[in-house]
Amino acid sequence: MRPASDQSLVVVESRPFDNVGLVEINRPEVRNAINLEVREKLAAAVASFSDDAEIRSIVIAGRGANFAAGADVRAFEKLGSADVLLQRTHRYWDVIAKCPKPVIAAVEGFALGGGCELAMHADIIVAARTATFGQPEVKLGLMPGAGGTQRLLRAIGKYKTLMLVLTGDMCPA
C-alpha cells in the first residue's frame, strides 16, 4: 500500500531496495501519458538520484498496467503541435541518456510514442510479456520527435524501424 500523499503526484520517487532509485510515472488513469509536467519531474527525479552517492542504479516504470502510452494529446489541443514541440523534449530525455548511473526502463503494457522514446533513452529495457512498443503518432501525421527514429534504428535495425515508423504498427515484446 502506497502512502496517500503520493496519489496526486505525477512522478513518484522511492527507494525500494538499497542503492536503487525508483522513478514511477503516476498517471494510470491516462495510461501514464506524458505531458510537460511529467517530463520535468521525471528529469528532476533522475537528476536527483544521479547526484545521490547512495544510489547506484535507477529504474523508471509506470504505475498501473502501462509504462507510458505516449504524449498526452490534450496538450496538443491546448497548445498546438508546434508549441508542444518547442517545449524541447530533448533536454529532459538527455538527463536520462547522459546519466552516469545505469538507468533501467521496466516496461509493462504500452510503451508508445514518447513512452517508447523514453524507454529507449534508458541503458537497459526490461520488458514484461505484456509490453508493446510502437510509434503510433505517425497515424496522426506526426513524426517521432524525441529521438525515436534514431534510437529505434540502433535498437532494432533499419527494416523493423521503417515498418514501425511508416505504418504506426505496434510490436509486442
Query: Catalytic residues, which ones?
Result: 71, 114, 117, 137
Residue 134 to residue 155: CA distance in whole angstroms: 13
Check: CB of residue 11 under 8 Å from CB of residue 25: yes
Cell of 88: 524541447
Cα dist from 90 to 4, 85, 171, whole Å = 32, 10, 24
Give CA–CA dist 124/153, Å, rounded. Answer: 16
How far apart are the C-alpha atoms of 62 and 155, rounded to whole Å? 21
Return all residues near 32 (Cβ < 8 A) that are at least 6 apart: 25, 26, 38, 62, 63, 64, 66, 67, 68, 69, 115
